[in-house]
A and B are shown apart, each in its own frame.
Chain A
């Protein structure tokens, strides 16, 4: 080939269209915001029904997770996500979708080696590093408390 990989990479970059951010970012904001508004509405509703704040918050998360899984099962979540982008990826609904979608897909390989094994293929790293980060945060917090006391 009469072109270096570096030149070729620059050519690839030049002809590759970028994401239409003027459109995708506002959509992510609007749809992601809408999910949060639904969350707030549920929180207020559960509060009005007499639940204390902790329980109302837990129930709100559960409700959003349920809705996300229901929409994933109905094959609607990924369609909304095509327009919403990070708007549906970042909230807790995105996490639920990332667990539910491989579970649905790999059911064909059986409940143990398929569904069970592959369920956390996307969410797994988030859980591992999320938990690890919280442990590190806890240790730092503990040390700061020790010195400031």
Chain B
């Protein structure tokens, strides 16, 4: 059977009008702490539960992004939002009070790229104006759902990653100003046979490799064409695997590559093992740091390939693997 290549979408007119990131205490103590719009020190953000807190993170991220442009909720056409919780709880409960048309999306930790590429497509096609992409993750709500209770004395393996308590929001519109969303490649579900819940980086590296490679091929580019190739949350293990996979094709991406999971925390001082993860991880790094540098022209062209482990605890318990996915969005100054 011939394998379908998939297409890379090209956008004529879709810019990121505004963006904001809200992070938790530990993320605020990380190396990029002073670049985020708000640091919420209390793990529950003054709410009663971690799930409510995650909703609050999304709400605040979108509010900050809207406030930067004087946009009000009635001027917003659409939101694409997602998170890691069942029923996309953080998004649907957190954003309900805005009363903006809403489409919930799930791509595990790749969701922010999925949101950006969808928002860009809707705006570029002319269906909507002011369209937001919002995602979040919360360490405590994710641990509760996917792993062990917070105060359980289990020990993580060195390959495990730390779910970021963070949210990012970007509003896409036709502004004619940078950062421009120029192209996007939708990822395919890649089952590489990995079934270790504590090694998500390995589960996702194959998907990142496939999507980035297809993006290069479809756009006639190479790693040197980009100032940076930013992956979502491959962490230490996944990043090394990505280099190895490209090395087999004689391509070297090390010098161009950054991984949000390796940037968000200070891995020497903060006990996050193989790095950060979660929908909020790369959303916060993009909205807190990278988009700023594209907007002011420090970075001319980047490829943002967020990565997600489409992990179902039920399927893993039934002996299934952890499929990975990665969506790539090319964001440029011109």
Contact = CB atoms under 8 A, between A and B. Distances in A.
B partners with A: yes
Contacts of B155: 24, 81-82, 85, 89
A10 to B, nearest CB: 11
B268 to A, nearest CB: 15
B331 to A, nearest CB: 26
Contact of A9 (B153, B154, B194, B274): B194
Interface in B38-57: 48-50
Given A3-B248, A12-B241, A102 B152 contact: yes
Nearest to B192: A8
Interface stretch (B26-34, B85-93, B143-151): B143-151
Size class of A's contact patch? 35 or more
Contacts of B149: 101-102, 104-106, 121-122
B158 A81 contact: no
Size class of B's contact patch? 35 or more
A1 B151 contact: no
Contact of A19 (B148, B158, B236): B158
Contacts of A81: 153-155
A108 B151 contact: no
Interface of A: 1-3, 5-6, 8-9, 11-12, 15-20, 24, 72-73, 75, 77-78, 80-82, 84-85, 88-89, 94, 97-98, 100-102, 104-106, 108, 121-122
Given A89-B153, A97-B153, 7 more contacts: A3-B248, A5-B192, A15-B237, A18-B158, A101-B152, A102-B149, A122-B148
18 contacts: A3-B245, A11-B245, A12-B237, A16-B158, A17-B158, A72-B151, A72-B153, A78-B152, A81-B154, A81-B155, A82-B153, A82-B271, A94-B153, A104-B149, A105-B144, A106-B149, A108-B49, A122-B152
Q: Return the 7 tightest CB-CB contacts between A and B, nearest first.
A: A81-B153, A5-B193, A12-B202, A101-B149, A105-B149, A101-B152, A101-B151
